[in-house]
Amino acid sequence: MITETIKKFVGRLFAPAPRGPLRIARDKHGIDRRNVSRHAIKVCEVLRQHGYEAYIVGGAVRDLIVGLEPKDFDVATNATPEEIRPLFRRARIIGRRFQLVHVVFGQEIIETSTFRAPASEDQETDEHGRILRDNVFGTQEEDAKRRDFTMNALYYDPHTEEVIDYHNGVADLKKRQIRIIGDPAKRYREDPVRMLRAVRFAAKLNGSIDPATRQPIGTMADLIENVPASRLFDEMLKLLTCGHAMDCLRQLRADGLHKGLLPLLDVVLEQPGGEHFVELALERTDARVRSGKTISPSFLFAALLWQQVDVRWKQLRSQGEHTIPALSQAADSVLDEQTEKLAIQRRFSSDMREIWFMQPRFERRMGKSIFRMIEQPRFRAACDFLQLRAAAGEFDSVLAQWWMDLANADDVTRADMIEEIARQPRDAGDAPAPRKRRRPRRSPSRGTPSAG
């Protein structure tokens, strides 16, 4: 009897620590439930009522812990897409590589995914190891293991208000350290976009990338070439709108990752004034992001590519090409080069062209022309772009401010401003184009000038 008791005591003493996730209470993680989307909570509640597990996951949990406002909320559950969809009035299954459900509440979409299993040897991949289909369902622990970074493998339970942490993600988050889960090289082959995400998170959180996580990036940067252009565009947009865009671009260049995103970036920054122009554009974008204002992708990419367009435009004009045709050729050539690698959507490239093509028209102020300018749908964006050019020393700042005052004015004030310009003596910049002289009409019978 005594011997058996001693054995049990020794067994408990030297037994391995119980495995499982950390369950972090509210007073430790600091998430205020009032800051969580009520629609995300609703999705979790409905799934729980039907016997499923459901948690808020990923970036929303990460941002709430560090005190940022999440852009969106995702839910993870052990229910399959086919089991999730009938539970909600407005829900649809999307995706092929990664099937999930979009549950729609007015303007908000709660992306709801099923717990995934980690990559296995028999999963469909391309010749570089990138996973092409990822619809093997698993447990919550397996789902945490297959997520990219420790700080993104966090599960918030709105019922208990606990954070479930399998990989010490909260500790990494407190240290602002970006650490990948598993072998970095293997994880980057599975999805090369993870390299870009590491850079973005480090810039956004003002943190650092774990040395082991960063080490393979320089030698594996070429894998970005294998990522679909549409995914690259989405990731580039996230980089540019994270509130620390210039830091992201500098880090991309340092790690050799920019070549698959903006092949002309190095050329742009090497142009006289190029880096200054890009810095001004991104600083203003960052300021808008931090103040909660909306961002126009068209304006962003128009600013990033403007220096290259401007250089080619000037080259064509120096060769004798007229202003607008030269600008059109320059814009087409730059956009063609970019869309080979970066799938800039047609609606964005169309808006970019409008912003660019309005720039020469700002050089002249004539009554009818001004009214036609105001009616253009991209007039305000083009005025903002003109302010950027003026700040970079490319355009007269006084004239640029006049156009901005016009854009901000009401209809009566606009009419007064245009009337005042009409009364002023014309300077060289406002001078109308010389009129073409009409040729005299010729008589159809004799080929001589007609008297009538």
Write out the catalytic residue numbers.
Answer: 72, 74, 148
- C-alpha–C-alpha distance, residues 164 and 170, integer Å: 9
Q: Which residues contact 68 (CB under 8 A, 6 or more apart)?
A: none
- C-alpha–C-alpha distance, residues 290 and 267, integer Å: 29
Q: H or E stretch including 389?
A: helix 379-391
Give the closest residue to 243 by CA, choosing from 274, 298, 206, 215: 206
- C-alpha–C-alpha distance, residues 304 and 385, integer Å: 11
- C-alpha–C-alpha distance, residues 203 and 200, integer Å: 5
Query: For residue 149, what are its two tokens?
Result: 């970074």
Number of H helices, E strands in the chain: 22, 10
- C-alpha–C-alpha distance, residues 64 and 47, integer Å: 23
Cβ-based burial of 317 (10 A; exposed 0-12, middle 13-18, buried ≥19): middle
Instruction: Output b/e per residue, 111-140; b: 16+ Cβ within 10 A.
Output: bbbbbbbbbeeeeeeeeebbbeebbebbeb
